[in-house]
Structure 1
Amino acid sequence: MSAVLVINSGSSSFKYQLIDMDTERPLASGLVERIGDSSGHTTHEGPNGKSERTVDIPDHTAGFRAMLDAFEANGPSLDEFPPVAVGHRVVHGGKRFFEPTVVTPLVEINIEDLADLAPLHNPANLEGIRAAEKAFPDVPHVAVFDTAFHQTLAPEAFTYAIDADLAEKHRVRRYGFHGTSHKYVSEKAAEFLGRPLGELKQIVLHLGNGASACAIDGGRSVDTSMGMTPLEGLVMGTRSGDIDPAVLIHLARRAHLDTNGLDELLNRKSGLLGLSGHGDMRDVQATADAGDPDARLALDTYSHRLKHYIGAYIAILGGLDVLSFTAGVGENAPAVRAGAVAGLEGLGIRLDASRNAERGSGVRVISTDDSPVTVLVVPTNEELEIARQTLEAIDAG
């Protein structure tokens, strides 16, 4: 058996999953949270069920010790199922990393250097890598970058129309995110339909608290809604998405917001939360259904932005074969899916209302049988995709 341990590290927590790559099924998963706190918390689910502990976790290294204790106490035994590699999610690879990369000291330096492009993510990802290297010193570690899938964007798709020298100096361009999910979903859709990936024109809508759209032509990302940071594009839980940049100048002058205030506004106090007072789509939907006009406007704005990107990407692709919804909102909110495609019959997108309303756990078709565009719900599995790419990297090396 070849098992891969997948790590998704944040500044005060990390998620993990041990995957049997022969069957591509998880052997165990868990969460270590409240890192830096004397009352840290671990949750572990394995063959012996689910367990939780409260323990002192001063740093990520202690967090990995707590994870190892959870494996020892609740299984599976890492002596019986030793990981052949550890795969790490890293948010920002800039334009340097375009494929899964075996971690070396130089790679770590580069991840750190790119931290100014993802200050909330890359430092935390790097902490997780370094702590994991201490816990698993004898196996390769692989960095899988959210931005890597979008390295196929053409210059006209990733270039912002500002002073070219200034943009080059400060690394200002579109990078795109959620690439691991977009790659997995587009490949899963082709597999489900029994069609070659290379012949399909696809749009994937990754709709969670963070949300992004991606136009995929023959398995290659050709456009995506997130930009230099994960702020651009769709309306999200607490992020504004697209906004006239002059609004920021106006608010700086009239509302006296500094850069920190603008950052707080756009990333944490906007989106669904800013419009309705609720950042969770379930709460927004329930409030709208109860007649709240602010929540209804939030949903309408969310749908309008989705339609905008669907239409734009059909134009970029020169047609469309498959439209896929994924992630928490995309997989579980029929009303959001219906709102996103309402009125797009003229573009070949015909939704079957009864199919859309049905609940399910696997890939499923929600378009009508005569719809020129096949509309799917495709559950994403970023951990499995990271594990796959981890094995590819060590096999290539």
Structure 2
Amino acid sequence: MLSPHALYDSAPPPQVPVLDIDPFSAAFFDDPYPAHAAMRDAGPFVWLERYNVGAVARYADVREVLTDWGRFSSARGVGMEDFERHGRFRLPSLILEADPPLHSRSRGVLSRALSPPVLKMLRARFATEAETMVEALAARRRFDAIADLAERYPLRVFPDAMGMKREGREKLLPHAEMLFNSFGPRNALFEASRAKASFEWIEEQGRRENLSAGLGLVIHEAADRGEIGHDEAPLLVRALLQAGLDTTVNAIGATLYCLARFPDQWTRLREEPALAKPAFDEAIRFESPVQTFFRTVTRDTEIGGAPVREGDKILMMLAAANRDPRRWSEADRYDIARSTTGHVGFGSGIHQCVGQILARMEGELVLDALLRRVKRIRIAGEVVRRHNNTLRGLASLPVEVEPL
């Protein structure tokens, strides 16, 4: 049955399994795992008849689409809409929805802005804030791990690092919610989040005159050196704002949720604090805060022997790939000692999330601070999931901790 939000009238390619699965429904958001398994079991490439788009859910096929930008383009949009057919709704991105050579130039500037010396400088400041915040929360014993920590901490440290003004920072998360909803259909989730977002405000945050010393000015200085155009610098500042905040919030939330649900893993982490980084990455694999992204096929080709046509949209089921038993042993178990090398929770290839290095640093620092102050952590109330067309996260995670 065709969804009212379908943008395409394409018929499925011959001999490709056709599935009646809606990956943008409330039922799917609440429990996506049976659908993930059905998609993986159906074949390397499947057709979602509600939207007339293709999809890949097995690890090997998701990774193939992620890494072959020549056949599977981001430049025509990483959402359901094809910019060549439907125009451009979202503000232009020089990195998320761009392919080489534009992407290479933009990525190079952002990579230098997040170089090891810069991160070393930021780390001490970020660590101090994590210690202060966790110390206060541990003294309270009961708090909401999402509102009071997973959201509050990145919203405190990251805009400071960017050089943003303090006024209006509360608009960052609603804008991110709208952005990631816009990668799916224009459903009720998208319309509700669009009503809360401010496009003009987010554009203004990238301008040089609105920034003090920080990563934002580093990007503008790259324009002074001729590495990018002066008109491109504000766009890259905005791209980093988007890449470095929402993924971090949901990743920290996922890690806290996992450790509260699986106390044996928290106990092991207390015994082996060096596992803080692996615990964070395993939560990314296990929960996959970024669930999906689209690509557009640039020429007739194939995936796993299945025919794929130029112009078709392909939905990459990142979360399904991250629990593919073909790739991961005991894929449905959260194990902080697991080697997560190769997970696609931050993407893969040239479009791998540029903000992941900050997310990992922030996640590690939050865990380090908790390990120094908290003996036990448990869920102490109703857990509320936040629905989004692209992201998987929580709106509320009440916890109770036992201080050391």
Name the TM-score class by shorter chain: under 0.3
Which gives a bigger RCO, structure 1 or 2 (Cα 8 Å, sep 6+)?
A: 2
TM-score (norm 2): 0.25
TM-score (norm 1): 0.25
